[in-house]
Structure formats: C-alpha cells, structure tokens
Amino acid sequence: MSRTRVLWLLGGFALAPILPPLLLLGKALLGGEAQPFSGFAMLLVVSYVVSAPLVAALGLPALLLAVRFGADRWWVASLVGGACGAAFSFTGYSQEPPLVAILQFGLWGAVVAASVWLSWRLGRIHEARLAANNSSKPTPLRGAA
C-alpha cells in the first residue's frame, strides 16, 4: 500500500467519527432546536472518544479483509459498519429503547464506515493520478530541430 493511500486512509479514520455528531447538529439546527454549542461540543468529544477506537479496531481489519477478497464497495462498508454499530448498541451505552438504539447505532456505524470507504476510494483515485503523471514516457525536447 502506497504512502498516499495510507495518508488518505488515516485522514478518513480521523474524520469519520466526527460526521454523525455533525449530522445531528445539522438536524437540530434545521429543526429549530435551541441546542447550545457547549452541548454539541460535549457530544462531539464523547462520540469521538467512543467511536475512534472502535473504528480503528473493527474498521481497519474489516476494510483490509474486504480489499483482500475484492469486496471493497461502499455498500459492503455500510453494511459491515451498520452491523458493528448495531452490535455496539447491546453494550447498554444508550438510554433509548432497544429498537431505537439498534437503529441509531447501526445508522451511525453505516455513516462512519461509508466515510472511511470514501477516503479509501479517494486515496486510490489520487494514487492512480499520481502514477499517471509520473509515467516513464520520454519527454520530447522543446526547441529541438
């Protein structure tokens, strides 16, 4: 795996746990809920502390297995992320009813996994563009007669 792809993947793993709280903030703002910024900041910190290790511990092996078997697609990442998120809902972390918690954490996991997959895909595209620009084709001399 090239350095470029690793950097894109690390960026995806670093940013992915931030997306669900941002979506919740957008929903609250569009719904007219008066949520103070301090409450959002606390949600962001708590969700990142909980999500980041899970994304790294479960997401990286799952992504590497999917790549190994040629199944690195967005929908595979979303399904696996949703299943991991739904499984996490059984830890008792949420005060919601069981079905709501399963759906909430499953959606949370699917969004995080899809964003990590997107960073993986963008890394592949960027790597391919760099390879195309660094080809070993001879460059014609300018001004040569």
pLDDT at res. 83: 92
pLDDT tens per residue, range 22-36: 877 777 778 777 666
Question: Is the confidence at residue 116, as pLDDT, over 80?
Answer: yes
Is the pLDDT at 54 greater than 90, yes or no?
no
Q: How far is CA 18 from CA 108, 115, 133, 137, in A?
A: 11, 10, 33, 43
pLDDT digits 0-9 by tens, 60-94: 888 888 888 988 899 999 999 999 888 888 877 77
CA distances from 127 to 21, 77, 114, 131 (A): 30, 21, 20, 6
Cα separations (Å) of 15 from 5, 51, 83, 107, 131?
Answer: 15, 11, 20, 17, 26
Task: Output the pTM of the full model.
Answer: 0.74
